A and B are shown apart, each in its own frame.
Chain A
């Protein structure tokens, strides 16, 4: 299977390498700058750090609300995903397996939500959260994330469920299993690949989200990492070292998740793409 190396192969490699350097540079630049002091960054942006400068991390972790914001980001991401995985596959299963007129109607109703960008309903949402007393709690954004993912999630799960045979469910039903039991013990484990794509795509989206948490979490208390970073850009406009430290702390979990779950990230993209 070993082919001889041709000139074209080397040219392709060099071109790809060159473009890869351009693509990787901003991220490399970010992480490198996190270990430089502010004056070092200002003096020579491209130079390597002279010493391993950790003061900006220390400042961020002890003098600001960043640790709380990190906790908020983690809680928001994990709770939203947990409830999504609890609620959406069940709905998709019922819709796909019953196939009556009203479940099909609900399916169309759910899909409609995929066409509504968040900005369309964000202004009334603000007032609505205040009215029902969820403004300022983490429950507000969690519910909004779940609601926003119903359309896409149901579509993803129903199309996968079409390929899952019903025979096992039917025999389990004859054996006297309840619907809930059948779903969680037999069907749900078979949905693993879709669930993985869901977790990865939605988790990333929530972790990185900006506009909604900025709006619905009140000023004066810690928000999410991304929102805090946005404020720091304005507030500490001359302390780039600190912001670089903050962005690095937000990027590292994403990088770790990506490297360990790469397969699902790639699959998630293609499943999301095919269903649009």
Chain B
């Protein structure tokens, strides 16, 4: 009897403790997500009250539209190149910070600081640096006698995507560096010392000791950078607005353009559902891999 009332008291307080978070979360995440699912089957323009059900037409258009295909292709290019480059740069930075004997904290802070910037500010700075007429990049090329390589980095469709990718690597690498650094510092010193006594050179030590022991950090970083690259938006908005033409338009950017620029919110939500399914797929793979890793540990 006493145990029962005690248990009831626990549940009672739990209800009131959870309620505020539950209400806000339901009202401002779940309800609009469900509305998105509903709207994706309509041709709503976002303004009128007339919401017309059109079945799967939006999704059929997604399958057929060359512009959407292009955006998906760009999203994939972003994802693959960012995952590879961010992780290579981050690992290299982590190794340098781990090995350097002086000013270690200062270097770590310098590599990490771009992470703290808004994508808008980062995009603006790089936009100026890469400007054709007045930018630092072309000025530097002139100074070292490579003036013939001067390019309109953001205005040329061949270079715009690459420019955004490289500046995003600059911004994000420090984040993954911190994770790799934690991994590196968890590796016992004795292992490398023993290997070096056995005659292993530095590259062999890295290849056969350090890198395998960083497997956990690598999994986490690859997954996080994958999800992060799907969400890239701010720097595109500021640097190219999806252009030149559609050269830098990604899935998240096309949702915004279609929904608010072209007032086709029904179609925009259908694209949003595609983004959701893509993210869900990657998250599920992520959870599976992380579980597997936990077992190994």
Q: Which A residues are within 8 Å of any B CB, using their own CB? A: 5, 9, 12-13, 15-16, 19-20, 23-24, 26-27, 29-30, 33, 41-42, 44-46, 87-88, 90-91, 93-95, 97-98, 100, 103, 106, 110, 113-128, 143-144, 146-148, 150-151, 154, 179-180, 183, 204, 207-211, 215, 226, 229-230, 233, 240, 243, 247, 250-251, 254-255, 258-259, 262, 265-266, 269-270, 273-274, 276
Contacts and interface: CB of A to CB of B under 8 A. Distances in A.
Contacts of A91: 17-18, 20-22
Contact of B220 (A116, A117, A146, A273): A273
Given A20-B111, A117-B231, A258-B113, A123 B121 contact: no
Nearest to B108: A266
A243 B124 contact: yes
Most buried by B among A16, A93, A123: A123
Contacts of B139: 44-46
B243 interface: no
A125 B101 contact: no
9 contacts: A5-B101, A42-B134, A122-B259, A143-B24, A147-B27, A240-B128, A269-B175, A273-B221, A276-B220
Given A24-B110, A179-B13, A258 B116 contact: yes
Contacts of B273: 120
Interface string B98-125: 0111100001011111101111111011
A110 B20 CA distance: 13
A169 to B, nearest CB: 11
Interface residues of B, number: 91
Given A45-B135, A147-B27, A150-B25, A121 B113 contact: no
B56 to A, nearest CB: 18
Contacts of A119: 231, 233, 252, 255-256, 272, 275
Interface of B: 9-11, 13-15, 17-18, 20-22, 24-25, 27-33, 35-36, 39, 46, 93, 96-97, 99-102, 107, 109-114, 116-122, 124-129, 133-136, 139-140, 170, 174-175, 178-179, 182, 220-221, 223-224, 230-231, 233-234, 237-238, 252, 255-256, 259-260, 265, 268-269, 272-273, 275-276, 279-280, 283, 286-287, 290
Contacts, number: 255
A226 B11 contact: no
B276 A251 contact: no
A123 B224 contact: no
Given A116-B276, A117-B231, A269-B179, 12 more contacts: A12-B100, A23-B110, A45-B136, A120-B276, A125-B28, A143-B28, A146-B28, A180-B13, A208-B116, A208-B117, A210-B237, A273-B221
B24 A254 contact: no
Which secondary structure characterizes the binding site on chain A? helix
